[in-house]
Amino acid sequence: MTVQPSVDASVDDSFDRYLDDLETLVSQPSVSATGEGIEECARLLESLCLDYGFDDAEIVETAGHPAVVAHAYVDHDPDNDAPTVLVYGHYDVQPVDPDAWETPPFEPIRREVDGDELLYGRGTVDNKGQHFTYLCAVDALRETTGLPVNVALLLDGEEESGSPNLLDAVEARADDLDADVAVNSDGPVDESGRPTVVFGNRGILIAHLSVSGLDGDLHSGHYGGAVPNPVWELVHLLGTMQDESGRITIDGFYEDVQPVTEHDRELLDRFEPDPDDLADKLDVGGFTNGPGETFLEQTLYYPTLNVNGITGGHGDEGYKTIVPSEASASIDMRLVPDQDPDDIYELFAAHVEEHASDRVSTTVTRGASMDPTRTPIDTPYREPVAEAVADGWGETPIVKPSSGGSAPYALFTNYLDLPHVSIPYGQQANNQHSPNEHFSIDHFEKGIRTSVRVLTATGDV
């Protein structure tokens, strides 16, 4: 994998323009939760793709917010024989509370902090700045040596809302998204500061439990001890889902979980954190029990049932002596290959039906879900991509078999049958999903140089 010096020189010459255009993109709101600015942002990206050397770009409607699909062909010839790289990103952003920001979230501003120049604004790092590096890479290659591969770009308008309709766009343009490999850049680099190359992620299933038993709150002195308390009923129900060893007790929950392979175990050993140091950093007295011998096994290779929160009755200041009329819990289940969210939901619902009290009414509501995915670590793309990242970033990356979070990449591995690799460009401290989100301008520049090399390397496989 060789990138000509002229390409890097082009990135240098054009970097101010790239940064200005990123600021324009960030200044356009695109909040999927509310729909604010979504259509306008999709049109802006359609225009930017054409400005940056793509041969075509279109807005693809879905049952929800639209996606943007664009193509850049080798020598501008759609019938060439070169490989194709599918690049995924998302243009939607998290909601904002302007009062919590030091500067307006959609008025990007550059600021130097501890010697690092940062670009502040909603979407700078999640994910506009990161996917925009691939547009810049296409532009730099077009201006110099030419594209080594065809690039199919898919930009999601609903990732921050769980990508519920991304399949609509993929199904509608499946032929146009035919490729040899899928790549994306999202999230932060490793805590050590080294870049990472990641080949999978856990899936997710969200569920909500509601317990109600009374028409209204009752006086705890007159009725407490005799009338069923929905909060207690909910707590008891949740208690049936995990045993003292930390294992989830829902029948069949672990049935499809695959053991850690030797290849994966070898990689995990290279970046397994010291449990005592990590516990000190997190200010906890130790880690919970459960399947998995190490922290990374627990967070990457085994599913979880996590209680996000419980509500019910009175929890504010002061006293309110009641038997509450209702209680509820929000739950997420992180899933691993080869677990199917549909199957896990059926197991979860069956467990609730079996263990819920007859004294109250219990309702299960299904929320969003994403499938897990993992490209085998012995994929032929592993070494070329890792070398490309090392050359572009200037530091050898940490290769990770999977991440613990969830993303819609299973659409590419399971539906389009492509190997997939994720290469995060964000700095560790970036405030994504929080006020004062920011992207290191140095990481943006390194991301462009790395994207150039990733496109070049994938063409050599």
The helices-and-strands tally (H runs, E runs) of the chain is 13, 19
**Residue with the two structure tokens 């990356």:** 397
Q: What distance in Å separates the CA atoms of residue 216 and residue 72, rounded to the nearest whole number?
A: 61
**Residue 335 corresponds to which tokens in the numbers above?**
């899933």
pLDDT in tens, 284-301: 999 998 999 899 999 999
**Residue 38 corresponds to which tokens in the numbers above?**
């979504």
Alpha helices in 240-381 (DSSP H): 262-271, 275-282, 295-300, 341-355
- Calculate the CA 167 to chain-centre distance: 16
Q: What distance in Å separates the CA atoms of residue 158 and residue 244, rounded to the nearest whole number?
A: 39
Residue 28: CB partners within 8 Å, gap ≥ 6?
A: 37, 40, 41, 44, 106
Instruction: Give the H/E segment covering residue 407.
Output: none
The dihedral through the CA atoms of 39, 44, 46, 47 has a sign that is positive
Give backbone dihedrals phi and psi of 135, rounded to 5 degrees, phi first: -65, -40
Mean pLDDT of each 10-residue bin along the chain, 461 residues long: 89 98 98 97 98 98 97 98 98 96 98 96 98 98 97 97 93 95 96 94 96 92 95 97 96 95 88 91 91 92 96 92 96 96 98 97 95 95 97 96 92 95 96 96 98 95 89
Q: What distance in Å separates the CA atoms of residue 203 and residue 287, rounded to the nearest whole number?
A: 22
Q: What distance in Å separates the CA atoms of residue 206 and residue 368, rounded to the nearest whole number?
A: 6
Considering the entire predicted model, what is its pTM? 0.91
The predicted structure's pLDDT at residue 2 = 77
Q: What distance in Å separates the CA atoms of residue 242 and residue 209, rounded to the nearest whole number?
A: 16
**Residue 40 corresponds to which tokens in the numbers above?**
């306008």
Q: What distance in Å separates the CA atoms of residue 423 and residue 105, rounded to the nearest whole number?
A: 26
**Residue with the two structure tokens 């819920």:** 356
**Residue 249 corresponds to which tokens in the numbers above?**
């007790």
**Residue 269 corresponds to which tokens in the numbers above?**
């050993």
The predicted structure's pLDDT at residue 1 = 65
**Residue 317 corresponds to which tokens in the numbers above?**
């200041």
Residue 210 pairs in a beta bridge with: 328, 363
Nearest to 45 by CA among 64, 35, 30, 62: 30
- Calculate the CA 290 to chain-centre distance: 25
Residue 120 pairs in a beta bridge with: 109, 438
pLDDT in tens, 107-121: 999 999 999 999 999
The predicted structure's pLDDT at residue 449 = 98
| Domains, the chain, with CATH or none | 5-201+372-460 (3.40.630.10), 203-257+303-370 (3.30.70.360)
Return the percentage of the chain with pLDDT > 70, whole number: 100
Q: What distance in Å separates the CA atoms of residue 150 and residue 459, rounded to the nearest whole number?
A: 9
Residue 438 pairs in a beta bridge with: 120
Is residue 332 classed as helix, strand or coil in its secondary structure? Answer: strand
Contact, 88 vs 160, CB < 8 A? no
Q: What distance in Å separates the CA atoms of residue 220 and residue 38, rounded to the nearest whole number?
A: 50
pLDDT in tens, 58-77: 999 999 999 999 999 999 99
